[in-house]
Structure 1
Amino acid sequence: MPHKWSSRGCLSMSRYEEDIAVTNLLAPRLAWFAAVARHEHVTRAAHELGVPQPTLSRAMVRLEADLGVALFARRGRSVSLTPAGRSFLAGSDRALAEIARAAHAVRADADPATGHVAFGFLHTMGSETVPGLIRAFRVDHPHVRFSLVQNYGEAMLERLRAGELDLCLTSPVPEAPDLVGRRLDEQRLRLVVPDDHRLATRKRIRLAEAAEETFVTLEPGYGLRRITDDLCAEAGFRPRVAFEGEEAETLRGLVAAGLGVALLPPPAVARPGVVELTVTAPRAVREIGVAWLDGHPDTPPVAAFKRFLLSRRGRLLPDGQEPYVA
């Protein structure tokens, strides 16, 4: 809600902001209030809470002053709830129950044996690499839970920054002051052409030989698109793009249909209708790495999965997706 200006020209809090401020003051005292209300006796409540009785009495007086209403009718050390007190107790019970549920959830997520990892990865890592990683990790951590997000690199980095992901598997390895990136492996890229293409009888090719071809690529913002543009520039040309997509296998299908050629990582399963050529120059690879938010504390399950990923340096990719060899 908008701020309001007082008659003196000073910025005053809106009613919503006043309620938030009061809530911040009240939150630590809700459990004390609930104990007094349950016992209807300040001394017994103080004994249960382990606080001095005068401290508890003063806290209840301040609570009423903050709210501007009487919560208790007092008779010596005994008290009874007023109608306002009964209404406030109902809300306090709901708030305390929600706090207890939240505390249980965060403790459960941090449990070393059964905790939670929010993990992002590239579309091209989804068919074999990530399932293989999780399968191997669960040999020693069978009950750790995963929330998985499949997306392109920039989108995952934004989710890291927003606290929605703990780790992500991405390419290229990010270089940003607020992120930590570690290189895990590299994957060779191939020039994929239709099986009836003029280059289809070749095994190896210099990328410059494809300068006159039409390309199908991923959309701008994808790491593989950036690598494609950079490799073509290094080979001395700018690719003519017929289609920009979101999935590598969609591009491979469009190559088979004769729409163009593409620079792609090896497929999980060989696709009919295309021939995949080794690119000899320039060096056509993409780095695969893991990234996380710098300074962000890890829960035990996240720390364990991070250690596991880093232990896979040089052997991240499944068989058939071997690193580049010139």
Structure 2
Amino acid sequence: MVHQQRSGGRLSRTGDTRDTDDMSRLLAPRLAYFAGVARTEHVTRAAQEMEVPQSTLSRAMVRLEEDLGVDLFARHGRTVSLTPAGRAFLTSVERALAEIERAADEVRADADPATGKVAFGFLHTMGAETVPGLLHAFRADHPRIRFSLVQNYGEAMLEGLRAGELDLCLTSPVPDAPDLVARRLDEQKLRLVVPADHRLAGRRRIRLAEAADETFVTLEPGYGLRRITDDLCAQAGFRPRIAFEGEEAETLRGLVAAGLGVALLPPPPFPRPGVVELTVTAPRAAREIGVAWLAGHPDTPPVAAFKKFLLSKRGTLLPT
């Protein structure tokens, strides 16, 4: 099948091997010019309104028609009118330009120092108390800054940073990667959580080695707290016997309360009935909490302000 041939132009056949991306790069700079000429139906007037030389605008329209292989305008002296192909093209061009303008407005709004947006990720265990407290304190001085909040496990949040989906994240362990910047903010002690009727429930402190024969419930492999649990058990001289793996710490507490095992967990946001939480005296059971962001990535003013705020919380991020 052969498309309409433009006078003096090239034939464009279905199945043309020109790459779509190459065509987009050719056409994109001329779309606003085309819309301006189509709106005024006068090259001189359009050039004046867009503040570009008339010769530049005329050449751009000729090249646009040549690249498309169709006539977009019928010439009538100094005026022009759209051909049927031109009218069809204009509908799509106006839609594309409107979408570009909408996207530009959105990114400008997100970068606004007073009303912009921060994409912030954090661990599930920090969602009930720590993060709400941080946001409340930050917004006392920045009341109109908006947040896109994402709760996830550490590795997923680091991938979110790399993909440009997150600006900052609170995570543990503190990452050490060449493409990321991370700063330690605080430390959170871990406790051995046992059922309320467990043989160890009357204790206040315990060496982790004393739990070597217990059945554990843990987070799934890939979670930072799972790696810490495995490492601490190894330091205590045993490999944990795992009965259940989950995705959220409070679910694990529920499993412990049901008598299905014991778990190494950070303190709960609220007391949980049915369990007893024991201080681990050896090995030292704690996890570091840090903030991370993508190296070399420029911050918008809202992100810079929130990053500065988080860094000011070193040593005071978590309740004592």
- For normalisation by structure 2, the TM-score amounts to 0.93
Per the alignment, residue 293 of structure 1 pairs with 294
**What amino acid is the match of 1:127?**
A
Q: What's the counterpart of residue 8 of structure 2?
A: none
Determine the structure 1 residue equivalent to 2:101.
100
- What displacement does 1:229 show? 0.4
Matched, 1:81 2:82: yes
Given the alignment of the two structures, is residue 164 of structure 1 paired with residue 162 of structure 2, yes or no?
no
Cα deviation for residue 296 of structure 1 reads 1.3
Q: Provide, for residues 112-137 of structure 1, a one-character-per-residue CA deviation record: whole Å limited to 9, x for no partner.
A: 11111111111101110111111111
2:135 alignment partner AA: I
Give the secondary structure class of the aligned counterpart of 1:215.
Answer: strand
Amino acid at match of 1:71: L
Distance 1:256 1:73 in 2: 80
Q: Distance in 2 between matches of 1:22 and 1:258?
A: 65
After TM superposition, give the deviation of residue 17 of structure 1 in Å.
5.9
Shift of 1:291: 0.9
> Structure 1 segments of 4 or more deviating over 3 A?
14-17
Name the Cα RMSD after superposition.
Answer: 1.3
Matches within 5 A, 1:257-268: 257-268=258-269
Pair 1:230–1:303, CA change in 2 (3 A): same
Q: Which residue of 2 aligns with 1:219?
A: 220
Tell me how far 1:16 sits from its aligned partner: 8.2
Task: Give matches, 1:93-132, under 5 Å.
Answer: 93-132=94-133
Q: Return closer, same or farther for 1:165/1:203 CA change in 2, 3 Å cut-off.
A: same
Measure the CA separation in 2 of the matches of 1:134 and 1:259: 36
SS of the residue 1:193 aligns to: strand
Q: 1:233, 1:184 → 2: CA distance?
A: 26
Q: CA–CA distance in 2 between the matches of 1:273 and 1:265?
A: 16
**Within 1, Cα distance between the matches of 2:40 and 2:189?**
71
Structure 2 residue runs of 5 or longer lacking an equivalent are 1-14
Q: Distance in 2 between matches of 1:311 and 1:25?
A: 49
Distance 2:164 2:18 in 1: 26
Return the letter of the residue paired with 2:298. P
Map residues 181-192 of structure 1 onto 2, 5 A cutoff. Answer: 181-192=182-193
Q: Which aligned pairs between 1:146-295 and structure 2 lie closer than 5 A?
A: 146-295=147-296
Give the Å deviation of 1:158: 1.2
The DSSP-based 3-state class of the residue aligned with 2:119 is: strand
- Structure 1 window deviating more from structure 2 (229-238 vs 158-167): it is 158-167
- 1-side partners of 2:89 and 2:20: how far apart? 14
Task: Mark the runs of 5 or more structure 1 residues left unpaired by the alignment.
Answer: 1-13
Q: Which amino acid is the alignment partner of residue 314 of structure 1?
A: G
Moved more, 78-87 or 215-224: 78-87
Q: How far 1:75 moved relative to its partner?
A: 2.3
SS at match of 1:196: coil
Secondary structure of 2:227's match? Answer: helix
- C-alpha deviation, 1:290, in angstroms: 0.8
1:68, 1:257 → 2: CA distance?
73
Whole-Å Cα distance in 1 between the matches of residues 217 and 18 of structure 2?
A: 53
Q: Distance in 2 between matches of 1:254 and 1:70?
A: 71
TM-score, normalised to structure 1, is 0.91
The aligned length equals: 306
Using the TM superposition, give the Cα deviation of residue 83 of structure 1 relative to its aligned residue in structure 2, in angstroms: 1.2
- In the alignment, the residues of structure 2 paired with residue 279 and residue 17 of structure 1 have an alpha-carbon distance, to the nearest angstrom, of 67
